Amino acid sequence: MPTFEKTPGWLDWYAGPSTPRFRLPEGAVDAHCHVFGPGDEFPFAPERKYTPCDASKDQLFALRDHLGFARNVVVQATCHGADNSAMVDALRASGGRARGVATVRPAVTDAELAELHEAGVRGVRFNFVKRLVDAVPTDALQQVVERIAPLGWHVVIYFEAPDLAALRDFFLSVPVPLVVDHMGRPDVTKDPHGPEFEAFLDLLRAKPDTWCKVTCPERLTVTGPPALDGEQEAYRDVVPFARRVVEEFPDRVLWGTDWPHPNLESHMPDDGLLVDVVPHIAPTEKLQRKLLVDNPMRLYWPDAS
Ligand code: 0GY
């Protein structure tokens, strides 16, 4: 019996992903992925809102190699709360090929922050998605920012489009770079040139050290996944949104798989087909190189030659 029972209806990650038709540029970074447990070794947090399947560092590294990525950025998932040990264990086992984004509370000690930095953590994540976390007061978040700023870290923010208006002033006040998860979760049934997505792009315009992950077509789509033989149609409703961001902010975009894809209800993507979406959102070699190599390297491995 495993220690933890998965949330009923939980979709396990897709074993045996296809080989992407799109060949990733050398040195490509999967800049958004997670590890879950294994629960027997790294227990899930008591305050979690879901219990996932296990998704270990070795399974993540196998996917990295299969898809053709060189590096990973492992983002702390809410099911592990502020216990970063599974993520840190992955960073330490990666031989310098993974960086991390942690969750910390204001009471974190300097020694704990130094240890996270030494392991490869370069940012903290503030999650505003109500189904994933209990709300944390802005004061507490500001205290965390004060603690991490001297380390040169950034703040990853995860929120849904309807909440941007209420959060915008706080975001603009953050004195370190921001990285937005999944394009601020637009409603892709709306116009990519309409007021909702314009408000999101305005955040990127107003705070020029804000980066954007053009990720998660599988999470945002309404039209659904690509047919196995039809990559032209891949997540066609999400592509125009991602493409707008890539075209206006080519030096501030990142891409990642989001493996092992928590909380998907409709379908679990084949990560090989997800990679095949990249040339649709970044149509030139130059844009692909920025998205997959130059930008994530500048943010997470600035000292690499
Ligand atoms: C994602 C998205 C989700 C979950 C988490 O930390 C998490 O639990 O990020 C989600 O459910 O939308 O980026 O993995």
Radius of gyration of the chain (CA): 18
Please choose, from the candidates 200, 262, 303, 186, the residue with its C-alpha nearest in 3D space to the C-alpha of residue 32. 262
Whether the per-residue pLDDT at 204 is higher than 90: the answer is yes
Residue whose tokens read 């190599």: 293
Which residue CA neighbors atom 4 of ligand 1 most closely?
A: 262
pLDDT digits (tens, 9 = 90+) for 142-174: 999 999 999 999 999 999 999 999 999 999 999
Residues forming a β-bridge with 123: 101, 154
By DSSP bridging, strand 210-213 and strand 29-33 are: unpaired
Please choose, from the candidates 243, 162, 172, the residue with its C-alpha nearest in 3D space to the C-alpha of residue 202. 172
| Domain assignment present for 305 | no
Res 1: pLDDT: 55
Query: Residue 276 C-alpha to ligand 1 middle, in angstroms?
Result: 22
| Domain assignment present for 149 | yes
| Domain assignment present for 304 | no
Percent of the chain with pLDDT over 90: 93
Residue whose CB lies within 8 A of the most ligand 1 atoms, among 158, 185, 218, for a mutation test: 158
- Residue range 101-107: mean pLDDT, rounded: 97
Let me know if 303 is a catalytic residue. no
Res 235: pLDDT: 87
| Domain assignment present for 198 | yes
CB atoms within 10 A of CB 131: 9
| Number of separate domains in the chain | 1
Record the pTM. Answer: 0.97
| Structure tokens belonging to residue 240 | 């125009």
Query: Mean pLDDT, the chain, as a whole number?
Result: 95
| Rounded CA separation 141/82 (Å) | 13
* Side chain identity at residue 5, one-letter code: E
Residues forming a β-bridge with 71: 29
Query: Residue 305 C-alpha to ligand 1 middle, in angstroms?
Result: 32
| Domain assignment present for 138 | yes
Res 233: pLDDT: 63
Specify the higher pLDDT residue, 231 or 216. 216
Which residue CA neighbors atom 11 of ligand 1 most closely?
A: 263
Q: Which domain holds residue 203?
A: 29-295
Catalytic residue, chosen from 181, 258, 271, 276, is 258
pLDDT digits (tens, 9 = 90+) for 242-296: 999 999 999 999 999 999 999 998 889 999 999 999 999 999 999 999 999 999 9
Res 3: pLDDT: 80
Whether the per-residue pLDDT at 227 is higher than 70: the answer is no
Res 44: pLDDT: 98
CB atoms within 10 A of CB 293: 18
Residues 6+ positions from 11 with CB-CB distance below 8 Å: 261, 264, 265, 267, 268
CATH number of 44's domain? 3.20.20.140
Res 86: pLDDT: 98
- Residue range 126-143: mean pLDDT, rounded: 96
Query: Residue 56 C-alpha to ligand 1 middle, in angstroms?
Result: 16
Query: Residue 34 C-alpha to ligand 1 middle, in angstroms?
Result: 9
